[in-house]
Chains A and B, each alone.
Chain A
Amino acid sequence: MDGQATSGGGGPAPHPRDHDHAAEPAQAHAHGAGAESDAAAAHQTLPVRRSILEKNERLAERNRGFFRAKGLLVLNVLSAPGSGKTTLIRKTAEALAQGLRVGVIVGDLATDNDAARLRAAGLPVVQITTGTVCHLEAEMVARAARQLDLDALDVLIIENVGNLVCPAAYDLGEDLRVVLMSVTEGEDKPLKYPPMFHSADVALITKIDLAAAAGFDRAQALANLHRISHHAAVFEVSAKTGQGMPLWLDYVAQQRQSVRGSTSG
């Protein structure tokens, strides 16, 4: 694929402080208007060694601490467009409503359809319109969370932008990464998007009511998931018929218990 550094012929030789600029011919650097003579403008290479994702990671840790202190279980729900995130979140919240109060943050490129659907189900919802940004970042979640009464919640579910590539690199401060693949997408989804599926704490196979119609090879899908998402808890559900939902709901309730336990302990 990509070879090595693209420019700078001579390589990144450490520049001594009294670097003789004149000895280095034709450096094509565009100096601004008030640039001094060449001799004075000695170049210096500053080592930086900082991760480009460092800022997001710092903010994500801050979110995590904040959510922990509130005793909240936070889920980051990820999938390709249309795998069933909004439907699953709505059904999960409705089913948990007896014992647990669920709030939702929804990331969407443009519309607020998903937020409206969730609001119609009576859930506290904040919509983040990301515009051209193809993933949620920790900072957006921090801002959105301020618009929710977190003290009145037990579980916060974040619906990420429908995308299996970009959101993989962005920690939001969640407790669990929940990655969905629907039976209509093919068994090899985990093999096509390994970073995302590798980072999953939970992998959900959704729309299992359509499995037969879609000719879904369950054994193959599970084998692929176990290869790539080998740390993940795997559930098979249909938000439409409710099949498989009880196991998933028990799991969420249990996770919420252990988050709370770690806070009050």
Chain B
Amino acid sequence: MHEVSLMQEAVRLALESAQAAGAQHIHRLALRVGALSGAVPDALRFAFPLVCAGTIAQGATLDIESVPAAGWCGYCQAEYRCEDYLSECPRCRQISAELRRGTELELAAVEVS
């Protein structure tokens, strides 16, 4: 998997935000990771300190919010929890492949000083 490159990009975005705010240190990164994003949270955590080393984010903590996947049923016009790309609407049993949530890979916030 490519969690190292994902983490590199997350830290790059964090550094950009910190710089724009004139901050000296980054203390925390908050990521949102969808259940179907393909990224493995433990691998992201493993990559995190490696990528932060030597930057103003060195020693920062990493929060990962896991976003469960949600499918959308066009017949019921309703959302439902699902585990996969393809899922069955619990109301009408139609198979749907329309995801509303679950593929997120987002830097939500950074805590700086």
Cα distance, A49 to B29, chains bound together (Å): 11
Q: Are B65 and A5 in contact (CB under 8 A)?
A: yes
Closest to A41 in B: B113
Cα distance, A60 to B34, chains bound together (Å): 22
Q: Are B108 and A29 in contact (CB under 8 A)?
A: no
A-B pairs with beta carbons under 8 Å apart, 29 shown? A1-B35, A2-B64, A7-B63, A8-B28, A12-B30, A12-B63, A12-B109, A32-B56, A35-B24, A41-B25, A41-B113, A42-B113, A43-B27, A43-B113, A46-B111, A46-B112, A48-B14, A49-B109, A52-B10, A52-B13, A52-B107, A55-B9, A166-B1, A166-B2, A195-B85, A227-B86, A228-B86, A228-B97, A230-B97
Q: Are A134 and B2 in contact (CB under 8 A)?
A: yes
Q: Are A49 and B62 in contact (CB under 8 A)?
A: no
- The 8 Å CB contact of A43, one of B36, B41, B106, B112, is B112
- The 8 Å CB contact of A198, one of B23, B97, B106, is B97
**Interface residue ranges, A against B (CB under 8 Å):** 1-8, 12, 15, 29-32, 35, 41-55, 133-135, 165-166, 168-169, 194-195, 198, 227-228, 230
Q: Are A134 and B1 in contact (CB under 8 A)?
A: yes
Q: Are B66 and A2 in contact (CB under 8 A)?
A: yes
Interface residues of chain A: helix, strand, loop or mixed (majority): loop
Q: Are B66 and A45 in contact (CB under 8 A)?
A: no
Other A-B pairs, 8, CB within 8 Å; known A2-B66, A48-B14, A52-B9: A1-B35, A4-B65, A8-B63, A46-B23, A46-B111, A48-B13, A52-B107, A165-B38
Q: Are B21 and A44 in contact (CB under 8 A)?
A: yes
Cα distance, A6 to B62, chains bound together (Å): 8
A128 to chain B, nearest CB (A): 15
Cα distance, A51 to B32, chains bound together (Å): 9
